[in-house]
Amino acid sequence: MAAKTTQADSWRSRLTCPRYNRCDVVRRGSATTTTPGESESNEVTITISDFTYSVPDSVPAGAEITVTNSDEVGHTVTADSGDTFDVAVEPGATVTFTAPESAGEYAFHCIPHPAMTSTLVVE
């Protein structure tokens, strides 16, 4: 009997597979890939640098959030509970996703680096 592959297994293999040069692999939520210089000045930004998230104090409900990964390894921005948001960001890449429509605090983490955690506050 063959071993069953889960979505999480597939997700992890895609994050570490060097053939994926762009971050367009998403399990939940809505994400797009952008190139440097495409972002708008009114966007909310999460920056990943040195295995740390830099997150704004709060974001408007439904806001477009830009995530920039300054590290040399891939990361994710994955909600701790539910299927609110989960986007992968390859090294040096920028992606966007939509903040939840409901106000609240949304704890999140990086799948390949579980010690990376933060909270997105939606107003």
Angstrom distance (rounded) from CA 10 to CA 31: 18
31 and 66 in contact (C-beta within 8 Å)? Answer: no
pLDDT at 47 over 70: yes
For the question of whether the overall pTM of this predicted structure is more than 0.85, the answer is: no
65 and 97 in contact (C-beta within 8 Å)? Answer: yes
17 and 10 in contact (C-beta within 8 Å)? Answer: no
Q: Which two tokens stand for residue 50?
A: 């040195």
Residue 4 has a pLDDT of 41
Q: What is the mean pLDDT of residues 86-96?
A: 97
Residue ranges of domains in the chain, CATH in brackets: 23-122 (2.60.40.420)
Residue 1 has a pLDDT of 44
Q: Which two tokens stand for residue 76?
A: 């994710």
Q: What is the mean pLDDT of residues 64-87?
A: 97
| pLDDT top residue among 36 and 20 | 36
113 and 75 in contact (C-beta within 8 Å)? Answer: yes
Q: How confident is the model at residue 53 (pLDDT cuts 50, 70, 90)?
A: very high
Q: Which two tokens stand for residue 32?
A: 């797009």
Q: What is the mean pLDDT of residues 2-7?
A: 40
Q: Is 108 helix (H, G, I), strand (E, B) or coil?
A: strand
